[in-house]
A and B are shown apart, each in its own frame.
Chain A
Amino acid sequence: MPEREQKRRSAPARETTEVEAEEAPAVTERGEKLKAEIDDLLDEIDEVLEDNAEEFVRNYVQKGGQ
């Protein structure tokens, strides 16, 4: 399962352009900061997230409303 996901993830890499490369330092810095902020939160989320995500998502079916 993870292997298949890894392969799919590699796809966007080829979209990298020169413009993005120029902006890279700022983006990376900001990205690192956001990552640090969110890390603790993500630890918590793993504890809170429904155990069987697939089943949970499949079962969430609503009647249409307004």
Chain B
Amino acid sequence: MAITKVCGMETEYGIQVVTDGEMSPTTAASLLINAYVARLERRIGWDFEDESPGRDARGFSRESAMPPEIETHLVNAVLTNGARYYVDHAHPEYSTPECSDPLQLICHDRAGEVVLARSMEAARHLLGPGEEIVVYKNNSDGKGNSYGCHENYLVERKVPFNRIVQQMTPHLVTRQIYAGAGKLGQENSETSEPVRYQLSQRADFFEEEVGLETTLKRPIVNTRDEPHADAQKYRRFHVIVGDANLSEVASFLKVGTTALLLAVLEDDFEVGRDLTLANPVAAIRAVSHDPELSTRIELASGERLTALELQWELFTRARKYAEAEGLAALGDESVGALLLERWEATLNGLDTDPMSLAGQIDWVAKLRLMEGYRERHGLDWSDSRLQALGLQYHDIRPSRSLFQRLKMETLVPLEEVESAVTEPPATTRAYFRGRCLSLFARSIVAANWDSVVFDVGADPLRRVPMMEPLRGTAQHVDTLLDGCESPAELVERLGS
């Protein structure tokens, strides 16, 4: 039986400074995050002990590979909801806490947007009149620069990595037909006919099938082997190819379908025919460049399918798996059932009339908005007002966000999102991390994904390891935490 697909999302936000003076994006991102965390009782730093982003899941390290750098000198905070909020590559980045099902993850990703919005508010008080720091939840500046929204999924170590590559690549190439955030024009890619509008923000930036890089020569399947958990038992499948979604439905589908297909392969479920693509890099762009969804991509077998046909095959597999094995791997059977229902309905919508999904899918909503605006003002597709609209769709400020005005369907009640701004998921180790920060912030010197380091007054510092992502839940530690008067007692009782 596949293990629960513990999952998380890391979003690098676009950042823009409105000022007459000079302020680098790195300074602006630091100011933004500092403004937010200054409200907290005490800032807890991130512990870099466990970071090794250069490790490769294929079991080797190439000389030419460029492992991501860890910028230890920049702002880096852990929040009481178990999230990490920091500066990365001159962008503010929000990593959700580990979640035990895709819907919970969507809630925490939305909470991240609230944190960014509150950060902008907090920063406003530190800036001069007329100055502002604005963030955008997108993945491209339209000028050839991209920044990511990464997903992480817990997978059993015993699953051979090459099987993950083989079975997940067709999904990662085609899921953009519902998970794409939409983009005007094209970047870094040449086509015989110029692309007016495409499904994905990110597809133009992928140049390799498999690899370790995340900032150059980006690969469709990333091989970073850094489980942040017991490495004997687990892998962390790190997906860098996705767009940051504003639509909850699109985001839920993106994460849920990927988690479910990972469960299918982890259980070695009879998968049907081989869907290996002849050229995934060419395919991911071709699919993105065609909002008509009619482009056929070639399989290694020579057969040519549309992305939608390929998604129908993947959906059928997932449904058969669910009928045979259940949906426990998605953390919650009802969430799994909702996922299958929405996946099918969305594919049906794309089959009959993609525009019918304007209330659910980012790329459709944005396209409809652009079409309407273009028609009304008689604009050319290259008009800067359409480009401005394309950026402002992703503006996180409630006063300026075009997405928020569209009133698209939501899956998570607003109260739950509000709560997730400060409260950790109760069903993963993020609960222990977050609760410790709430209760004993003054005694915690650092925290990271798989440990919390306490200073209980006597040397040495005490590290509490959390190598099991599904331990340290409310069920496991509430009684313990409630019964501890001090951090020293907690550490004592944990035997660390």
A residues near B (Cβ < 8 Å) are 2, 4-6, 8-9, 30, 34-35, 38-39, 41-42, 44-45, 48-50, 53-54, 56-66
Contacts and interface: CB of A to CB of B under 8 A. Distances in A.
B33 to A, nearest CB: 15
B412 to A, nearest CB: 23
B215 A64 contact: yes
Interface string B355-373: 1001000000000110011
A64 B145 contact: yes
B45 interface: no
A50 B388 contact: yes
Contacts of A42: 372-373, 376
The B contact surface, by secondary structure, is mixed
Contacts of A2: 378
A1 B375 CA distance: 16
B240 A9 contact: no
A61 B141 contact: yes
B383 A66 contact: no
A38 B406 CA distance: 9
Nearest to A3: B378
Contacts of A62: 14-15, 25, 90-91, 140-141, 143, 145, 147
B437 interface: no
Contacts of A39: 372
Given A41-B406, A42-B376, A56-B388, A63 B145 contact: yes
B380 A9 contact: yes
Interface residues of B, number: 47
Contact of A60 (B389, B391, B402): B391
B155 to A, nearest CB: 21
A60 B17 CA distance: 9
Interface of B: 12, 14-16, 25, 68, 88-91, 140-143, 145-148, 150, 214-215, 240, 353, 355, 358, 368-369, 372-373, 375-376, 378-380, 383-385, 387-389, 391-392, 399-400, 402, 405-406
Contacts of A48: 392, 399-400, 402, 405
Nearest to B397: A48
Contacts of B150: 66
18 contacts: A5-B380, A6-B378, A30-B353, A38-B372, A45-B369, A45-B402, A49-B385, A53-B387, A53-B388, A57-B384, A60-B141, A61-B145, A62-B91, A64-B89, A64-B145, A65-B145, A66-B68, A66-B240
Contacts of A60: 14, 16, 141-143, 391
3 interchain residue pairs of minimum CB distance: A65-B147, A53-B388, A66-B148
Contacts of B214: 66
Q: Taking each of A9, A38, A50, A62, which has the highest tally of chain B beta carbons within 10 Å of its own beta carbon?
A: A62
Given A60-B16, A63-B25, A63-B145, 8 more contacts: A38-B369, A48-B399, A54-B384, A57-B388, A60-B142, A60-B391, A61-B145, A62-B91
A65 B392 contact: no
A9 B196 CA distance: 13
Nearest to B18: A59
A24 to B, nearest CB: 15
B89 A66 contact: yes
Contacts of B389: 45, 49
